[in-house]
Chain A
Amino acid sequence: MASEVEETLKRIEGQRGVVGTVVCNADGIPIRSSLDGVATAQYARLLRKLTVMAKSAVRDIDPQNDLTFLRLRSQKCEIMVGLENEFLVIVIQNLHQ
């Protein structure tokens, strides 16, 4: 099972344009990451906060609803955050068409 996880993450990282991936848990602790320590900590901390706010926004509007995916597009890259079971999978991808 663990190897499947590894495989999946490796496959994601191998896609074109992907800069890095970070997997973190509910407390914002990075479990696995392909970036260096500082960047990992930064992404984990900041995106954890953002997803908490986004989740509460979605649930304020409709309490039956829940946040599943968050896409943050900026000038240089796109940050995608998938939420499931209190875990976060963060992927940073470069955009250049």
Chain B
Amino acid sequence: MEIVHVYVRRRGDFGRQSHFSDRPAELLVDIGPDPPLADGFIHRDPRDVATQSAQEMSEHQVNTERFESESRGINHVEGGWPKDVNPQEMEQTIRFRKKVEKDENYVTSVLQLGSVMENCIKQNNATDIYQDYSEDEEAADEVQEPPAAKTVNVFRDPNEVKRTVTGLSWHPDGNRKLAGAYSCLEFQKASKDMSFDSYIWDIENPNRPELTLKPVSPLVCLEYNPKDCHTLAGGCYNGQIAFWDTRRGSQPVELSSVEQSHRDPVYKLIWMQSKTGTDAFSASTDGQVLWWDMRRLSEPTERLVLDLSREGSLDAALGASALEFEATMPTKFMVGTEQGLVLSCNRKAKSPAEKIVCTFDGHHGPVYALQRNPFFPKNFLTVGDWTARIWSEDIKESSIMWTRYQTSYLMDACWSPVRPAVFFTVKMDGVLDVWDVLFKQNEPTLSIKVCDEGLYSLRLQESGRLLACGSRLGGASLLELGPSLSTLQRNEKSLVAAMFERETKREKILEARQRELRLKERSRSEQSREDDGAKEADGQEDPEELIARAEADFFSAIDAEIKRRQKEEDKHREKDVCEEKEVRNGAE
């Protein structure tokens, strides 16, 4: 039933001022209870209702902006003595003590407690009551915690003018220190009063860097020597290489000469495995890869120009933006270029022309990071443009696995040193992505927004639990990964090996197929060339011919489809006719 209230007003009264007045409430509708309806319900008495009157609580995690803490010592003096006893005076304290000892309470308490105490002591002496007997058994069902990571600390650039953290390196021994290279990579954005310093931080103390390194030009990359943990080498913005010894202060111990160094910022510097432990090589966008001996930085020991035409000319050379070296394969190394190519090179090649062994073409933009999987050195990870790609050395045509095109540029990536299936990438929107290829392949397993500005560099500590990433405004954040991301899972190695093999095989098949198609094309174009020899010999077709061919293909495909449909319809009709005939036969 509809309840309607009608309100009438004359048209002439529209728009007039309203005169409000008070009047008592008017009952418009009164809907009484309907007794027959009540029969549909049962009266229930008593009713059991549970409520909780506990305090409502919620859990919330907050990270403070900055917490400055300092270690200090305090000297405690005895206290608690009653007013009439002077703690310095031996006599008074002794007298007080004697008084207490005579107290009845004291005696009984101590006697009582003495027996209890003895019991516990004897217990301790008998056996270790807290011994863990179930240590040897593995946990029955490993509770899979969701992957998590949380920020532990942020190390901020102490200077006024903030610079980007372009390189990070962990101390090789004990991992208590983190070295950061600070520079401004944006073209001509470096202001005049930008400091050149780079810092070494102790991860326990985020307030002040432990050591300042003062190069002649801002450092783009910085690496600890894995053999000698007091020495570091850094590549500068102006192309020079500098060598520090932390025991000898902030000035570089040695600096390479300007003429012999790179002509562009040194993007990556890696220490090599050598008997002397002082060899390193560096790569820069000027197209050269230089080998250095740290004891004599006046000139490089070896030089390689990344020229694909094998002529060694700097003009045609490709700029290098990433470098990779695996200690288990000391003669091979890989270079990632600005042009998106990855070059695999052999150091021990006989002639400079043979140094570049093969190329992998995959990215549309500069390759910013390049790293081999620590467990499967045949597969390596590259990051450039908006994707991260995993490659196998055997397949040169394309990567075996790749991520979707992300929304922002990827700047750096690295594999986890403990889990072969996990790698990390950082992006320009300040997000750190953790990818677990065994868990999810089309999107990151975990995405954490570390900061608002872009993240430029990333480094994992060898234990696999701590991660440092550097941002554009000079903040190096230290994150701790949850246990599920930093402990090797069961069967992980074999699963990852199987996955890489599978993908490699797939790519191989695709490559073989491509080659077949290309051969067919070539043979077809050769045939057509034989037929009319006047055609151009390079096999390229004009656009018109292409269009004509495309149209012909299209129409023939449509005709084929129409014919097929016709045939099917005819078949159906025949069937119907047959059935009718049968029915009629049957009916007769």
Contacts and interface: CB of A to CB of B under 8 A. Distances in A.
A80 B111 contact: no
Contacts of A16: 125
Interface string B71-91: 000001011111000000000
A80 B114 CA distance: 11
A66 to B, nearest CB: 14
Interface majority SS on A: helix, strand, loop or mixed?
Answer: mixed
Interface string A1-30: 110110011011001111000010101110
A35 interface: no
A48 to B, nearest CB: 8
B102 interface: yes
Interface string B391-425: 00000000000000000000000000000000000
B121 A2 contact: no
Interface majority SS on B: helix, strand, loop or mixed?
Answer: helix
Nearest to B87: A29
B124 A2 contact: no
B76 to A, nearest CB: 7
A91 B101 contact: no
A71 B578 CA distance: 96
Contact of B118 (A2, A15, A25, A95): A15
B117 A1 contact: no
A15 B125 contact: yes
Given A29-B81, A31-B100, A85-B109, A9 B120 contact: no
A5 B115 CA distance: 11
Given A8-B114, A28-B80, A84 B109 contact: yes
B124 A89 contact: no
A54 interface: no
Contact of B120 (A8, A23, A31, A80): A80
Give the contact-size bracket for chain A.
35 or more
Interface residues of B, number: 33
A87 B101 contact: no
A31 B101 CA distance: 8
A9 B110 contact: yes
B97 interface: yes
B105 interface: yes
Contact of B124 (A41, A82, A93): A93
B378 to A, nearest CB: 45
Contacts of B101: 2, 5, 31-32
Interface in B94-139: 96-97, 100-102, 105-118, 120-122, 124-125, 127-128, 130
A91 to B, nearest CB: 5
Nearest to B85: A29
A35 to B, nearest CB: 14
Contact of B110 (A18, A28, A41, A87): A87
Contact of A89 (B76, B108, B113, B128): B113
A97 interface: yes
Contacts of A23: 110
The 10 A-B pairs at the shortest CB distance, nearest first, are namely A8-B114, A82-B113, A84-B109, A89-B113, A27-B80, A87-B109, A85-B109, A28-B80, A15-B121, A1-B107
16 contacts: A5-B110, A8-B111, A9-B110, A9-B114, A12-B114, A15-B122, A15-B125, A17-B121, A28-B80, A84-B112, A84-B113, A85-B106, A85-B108, A87-B106, A87-B113, A89-B114
